[in-house]
Structure 1
Amino acid sequence: MNEERLKQLQQAYQDLDLFPLIEPENIEKFRVEYGRPVLVRLKREIEASTSDGKVIFAGHRGCGKSTLLKRLSVEMADKYFSIFFSISDLIEMSDVSHVNILYAIGLMLLSRASKLRIPIADSIKRSLLDWMNTTETEAVEQETTAETGLGGVDIFKFISLKLQREQKFRKELERTYEKKLSELVRNLDLLAATIQNATKRPVLVIIDDLDKLDLNIIEPIYRNNLKALFSPGFKIVFTIPIAAIQEPRVMGALNSEGIVRPHLFPVTKFYSNQDCRSPNAQPIEKNIKLFERVLEKRFPPGLLSPEIAKKTILMSGGVIRELVRIGRECCTECMVQLEIDSDCDDIKINDEILSTALRNLRNDFARQVGSRQLYEMLAEVYKTLKPAEGEGFIKLLHGLMVLEYENDALWYDVHPIVIELLRREELIES
């Protein structure tokens, strides 16, 4: 086996990480200039909003929101006490609620203030840290000490672990705060005011990954409990799935709280809606170049030819995460072939490898679509470039099987990988 090639493939696989660019070294190594106009709009709205302004940021999963929001946090740090965190790092995603979102905000603010040695009133600390009964607190301390191997207890880390791992702990938190939510919010405001007085900068909280919640979780949060979620008196940026803003009741709730429209991170277009079905259409060159730079930063020279790179890009549908997924799948197939075929020491990503990778991902989509009704809905979108009627459309949009694009008007298309499924179902012409 060509060990050098294997190392290259393993490194490329690692570099094609599905997680956003958060750490400074990864930002420096992999970042391309992407979504700057969206970033500037977010900055300007935050700066122009009132002291308790709330911003909603929407987009398809994997379009680059997380990386952009981290950049936003860094660029706003001169003017704001800026906190960026992912809700998935604190709370089990299947059990997120408006109550534990508000608690997570307080926990993150208190943790950062403690690290910076900002004096915080004991009453505020107790309100966030001493709600557990004595037995629970002792168990927390014992488990934390055992895991960290340290004599001291990092209570913030430990509560985070509990929130992630233990449903019982989350239920206890819900029972504790659901009847005194106004008290929790009041302490959040006191905490933010203390931080602002100490740092001379207003507080800005940016919460990532709420857009990755299942729709049956996200809708009650943004529809039934939005007033509570928006009640803290400082600036907060929330994320929301693009599928959720298709729901009139969610948008009605947002409008009632002063959100005229969410900020949107659009999917990158490779064709206009007039050209997307033309076999002779030429893709938008500047957008192809942008995605080429993403691949160039992650693949060593010679592993991916320009022709295969372009095919990979077009099959991503303009979603960065999908580009990365295809690239990763190609690396996996190459590593498999390197192991089982002694004649392919100098293996590269070719048409056969790409086809196999696309087949694997296509089968993943097929498992999500499932019913004939959803296949027919996809075929309708493909033929009309318009949203289909029915609740199933929201599922297709949330699952990236349908992608939303912007021109002067919105238009929709089926994910390029999914189109082959429609051909196989004989719902569109081959």
Structure 2
Amino acid sequence: MIGVRESCFMVFPPNSDAAILKDLFNSFKPDSPLEPGDPRYVDFQEVRGDEDILTELGGYILKEEDNTYQLYSGHRGSGKSTELKRLAAYLERQGCVVVYFAAATEDAGDLSFQDTQYQDILLSCTRQLLEKLQDDVDYSPIWHWLEARWETLKELALTDVSLNQINIQVAIPLLSKITAAVRTEPNKRDEIRKLVEANTESLVKALNAFIDNAKQQLKSGNNRIVIIADNLDRIAQIEEPDKMTNLEEIFINRSELMRSLNCHMVYTAPISLLYSRSASNLQDIYGKPQILPMVMVQNRDGEAVDEGIQQLRLAMERRVMEQVDGLSLVPDVFEAEAVVVLLCLSCGGHLRDLMHIIRNAINRTSELPIRMKQVKRAIADFRPAYLDAVLEHEWDLLFQVHQNKTRLNDLDGLYRALLGRRCILEYRFFDEVEEDVVRWYDVHPLIRGSKPFRERWAVFSKGDSEG
């Protein structure tokens, strides 16, 4: 008789195709950033504009005598979290104390994607700092700040602990409860923001006193403390007529607060913000932001870029080797190199899309190797979501991008919106003749390869040539 536990999971014979496919399916998880030192990591620097996060962001942190406040951006799913974790490990090896945290994920974290304000980010930094440094640093400045507002916190039902019981074991769970309420309870969220808004100056003062204590007490001998706040690029943009967007309010209007902590800060920011009317203001405030582009698998003329394809192939191969020793990418997993090339070209160099498509192909396969038919069907499954993201009035914009390989800074932000939805992808390469980094854009291959795009493109091209 099959027990309850056994009935919940399908058990496959070891080394069977079904067992291997299950292992491969889990090796290509699209939403799991790679940890530093993971053997599956591939350095795409050469096919991403020849920029490296360790130099672009890390170099400033290590060389600058004053605190730095920097922005990091790119399309969602491009690999930013993996790169930021790599940066954190590198800085720690240089003796820095690094507080890395994902401020929000799909099901956890401190922030609400749909409603985030600067007070929420400050509270999140407070909790993460205290949690990271609790065993080494005098936390009394933060303790006293909470202590002075204890009755208000009790009124909000955020604590039932008496004032004389407060200590580090109480403070950290309390801050976790506060940030959880900010994320999940809209009514309490507003009240907590009012509390922080009225006491922002004192909270910043308490945090900086705590940070200064840390710099004096930490045993590393390095007084560089770095906070890396990941996933802030997931904050949804809210627009109101004749007003700044919520993103501009956070990163520009409240930039004094975002730059108020006495340590180095790295914030992720939405790519749509970095290409908005606020771009020059952001650069004045935070310095030149680094943007992680797509892996270049085709050039501007539509010709395949072998180096980019080979790097993506290596990423697939390493995930296979890590999961199933002795299994080759071709012909054991995929039947032919043409299948691998199709996967690389169809994702447009977007890593998360590549992982999704591969998992879908694996799910459609009952025995190895995976055939071209399964991959084509998997690609077709992901195409409708991108087509649905294109509004009727946006088709001509896509055609102009595809034709010219450029993106305009339009007043209405239509191109930025398409960029934010990944209907338009950004690529970069270093032109050695011009000695400059070239940025160019194209429509996502899942849209370009669709019948609606081909039919509309034929009409657009004909009208353009006749005009």
Question: How would you bin the TM-score normalised by the shorter chain?
Answer: 0.7 to 0.9
Find the partner of 1:296 among 306, 314, 317. Answer: 317
Structure 2 partner of 1:168: 187
- Give the AA of the match of 1:111: E
Distance 2:293 2:57 in 1: 14
Against the structure 1 CA distance between its residues 6 and 164, is the aligned structure 2 distance closer, same or farther, given a 3 Å change threshold? farther
Q: Given that residues 21 and 31 in structure 1 are in contact (C-alpha distance below 8 angstroms), is that contact kept between their aligned partners in structure 2?
A: no
After superposing the two structures, state which structure 1 stretch, 164-173 or 316-325, moved more.
164-173
CA distance in 2, matches of 1:156, 1:12: 39
Distance 1:359 1:309, change over 3 A: same
2:352 to 318, 321, 324: 321
Q: 1:102 to 1:153 in 2, by over 3 A?
A: closer
- SS of residue paired to 2:294: coil
Supply the distance in 2 between the matched residues of 1:151 and 1:179 (Cα, whole angstroms). 23
**Residues 1:180 and 1:159: Cα distance change in structure 2 (over 3 Å):** closer
Structure-1 residue corresponding to 2:253: 224
Residue identity matched to 2:449: E
Q: Distance in 2 between matches of 1:167 and 1:138?
A: 14
Distance (Å, rounded) in 2 between the aligned partners of 1:13 and 1:219: 40
Within 5 Å, give how 1:124-139 maps onto structure 2: 124-128=142-146, 132-137=152-157
Name the CA distance, whole Å, in 1 between partners of 2:145 and 2:19: 51
Mapping for residues 16-165 of structure 1, pairs under 5 Å: 16-23=28-35, 27-35=37-45, 37-77=52-92, 78-88=94-104, 89-114=109-134, 116-121=135-140, 123-128=141-146, 132-137=152-157, 154-165=173-184
Contact 1:423–1:429 under 8 Å retained in 2:
no
**1:231–1:351 CA distance, 2 compared to 1 (3 A):** same
Cα deviation, residue 158, structure 1: 3.7
Give the whole-Å Cα distance in 2 for the aligned partners of 1:15 and 1:170: 38
Residues 375 and 422, structure 1, Cα contact 8 Å, conserved in 2: no
Distance 1:153 1:187 in 2: 15
Equivalent positions of 1:249-328 (< 5 A) are 250-257=278-285, 259-273=286-300, 275-276=301-302, 281=303, 283-299=304-320, 300=324, 301=327, 302-305=332-335, 306-328=337-359
2:372 corresponds, among 343, 351, 356, to 351
Could you tell me which residue of structure 2 aligns to residue 420 of structure 1? 449
3-state SS of paired residue (1:404): strand
**What is the Cα deviation at residue 351 of structure 1?**
1.9
**Could you say what secondary structure the match of 1:21 adopts?**
coil
SS of the counterpart of 1:410? Answer: strand
The alpha-carbon distance between structure 1 residues 45 and 138, as it changes in their structure 2 partners (threshold 3 A), is: closer
Matched letter for residue 185 of structure 1: V
Mapped contact 1:99–1:177 kept (Cα < 8 A)? yes
Gaps of 5+ in 1: 142-149, 339-345
Distance 2:158 2:119 in 1: 24
Is the contact made by 1:203 and 1:235 (CA closer than 8 Å) also made in structure 2? yes
Residue 146 of structure 1: aligned partner: none
What residue ranges of structure 2 are gaps of 5+ in the alignment? 1-9, 46-50, 162-168, 239-245, 430-436, 460-467
The alpha-carbon distance between structure 1 residues 413 and 360, as it changes in their structure 2 partners (threshold 3 A), is: same
Structure 1 residue 153: Cα displacement: 8.5
Question: Which letter maps to 1:266?
Answer: P
1:209 corresponds in structure 2 to 231
The separation in 2 between residues aligned to 1:65 and 1:30, in whole angstroms, is 15
Partner of 2:433: none
Correspondence 1:196 to 2:215: yes
**1:335-346 alignment to 2 at 5 Å?**
338=366, 346=367
Give how far 1:413 is off: 0.3
| Cα distance in 1 for residues equivalent to 2:118 and 2:179 | 16
**Preserved contact between residue 84 and residue 208 of structure 1 (Cα < 8 Å):** yes
Within 5 Å, give how 1:397-408 maps onto structure 2: 397-407=419-429, 408=437
The structural deviation recorded for 1:323 is: 1.4
Equivalent residue letter for 2:205: R
Structure 1 contact 46–55 (Cα < 8 Å) conserved:
no
Counterpart amino acid of residue 313 in structure 2 = E
SS in structure 1 opposite 2:299? coil
Deviates more, 1:414-423 or 1:83-92: 414-423
Say whether the 8 Å CA contact 2:127–2:172 is kept in structure 1: no
Higher helix fraction (1 or 2): 1
Shift of 1:400: 0.9
Q: CA deviation at 1:415?
A: 0.7
How much has 1:227 moved relative to structure 2?
A: 2.4
Q: Distance in 2 between matches of 1:313 and 1:13?
A: 18
Please state how far the C-alpha of 1:83 moved relative to its aligned partner. Answer: 0.5
CA gap 1:113/1:424 in 2 versus in 1, 3 angstroms = closer
Over 3 Å counting, the alpha-carbon distance change for 1:353 and 1:204 in structure 2 is same
The structure-2 alpha-carbon separation of the partners of 1:293 and 1:231, relative to structure 1 and needing over 3 Å to count, comes to: same
Structure 1 contact 111–156 (Cα < 8 Å) conserved = no
Q: 1:117 to 1:312 in 2, by over 3 A?
A: same
Alignment-mate amino acid for residue 32 of structure 1: V
1:303 maps to a residue whose letter is V
Deviation at 1:262, TM superposition (A): 0.8
> C-alpha distance in 1, partners of 2:22/2:62?
43
When residues 348 and 11 of structure 1 are mapped into structure 2, their CA distance, relative to the original with a 3 A threshold, is same
Q: Is the 8 A contact 1:82 1:203 kept in 2?
A: yes
Q: Cα distance, 1:109 vs. partner?
A: 0.5
Percent of aligned pairs with the same amino acid: 20
Which secondary structure state, in structure 2, belongs to the residue aligned with residue 95 of structure 1? coil
Q: In the alignment, which of 185, 195, 198 is matched to residue 179 of structure 1?
A: 198
CA shift for structure 1 position 71: 1.1
Cα distance change of structure 1 residues 128 and 396 upon mapping to structure 2, 3 Å threshold? farther
Task: Give 1:242's match in structure 2, choosing from 271, 284, 298.
Answer: 271
Q: Which moved more, 1:302-311 or 1:393-402?
A: 302-311
TM-score w.r.t. the length of structure 1 is 0.84
